[in-house]
């Protein structure tokens, strides 16, 4: 299982958390380059995490649309692993 984190610069804490809950492969798009708006979500991705406080609207919209087309779960989280944990809990219910 692989996860994609969209947004943010320093995502080591998010990466560690996701690895602890069963996502050994983590990819990260920080959104700083315009080319990232044109990238495709890798086919083996099973979760997309969008850090809403740290991403442009355009990239968030593109990532959301692509994930929905692939039927991949999307989690929207603010800053902090606590908020990511809450978002993940709501995903599993």
92: which 2 tokens?
Answer: 């599993």
69 vs 89: CA distance, rounded Å: 23
Q: How far is it between the farthest Cα atoms of the chain?
A: 35
pLDDT at 31 over 90: no
Whole-angstrom CA distances from 55 to 12, 29, 30 are 16, 9, 7
Fold of 2-92: Rossmann fold (3.40.50)
pLDDT over 80 at 22, yes or no: yes
* Angstrom distance (rounded) from CA 6 to CA 52: 9
Q: What is the pTM of this model?
A: 0.88
- Domain spans in the chain, listed from the N-terminal domain onward: 2-92
Tokens of 62: 């593109």
pLDDT confidence band for 58 (50 / 70 / 90): confident
């Amino acid at each position: 299982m692989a996860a994609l984190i969209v947004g943010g610069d320093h995502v080591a804490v998010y990466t560690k958390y996701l690895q602890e809950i069963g996502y050994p492969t983590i990819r990260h798009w920080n959104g700083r380059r315009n080319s990232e708006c044109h990238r495709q979500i890798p086919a083996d991705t099973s979760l997309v995490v969008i850090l809403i406080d740290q991403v442009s609207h355009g990239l968030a919209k593109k990532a959301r649309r692509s994930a929905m087309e692939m039927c991949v779960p999307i989690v929207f989280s603010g800053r902090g692993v606590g908020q990511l944990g809450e978002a993940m809990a709501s995903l599993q219910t």
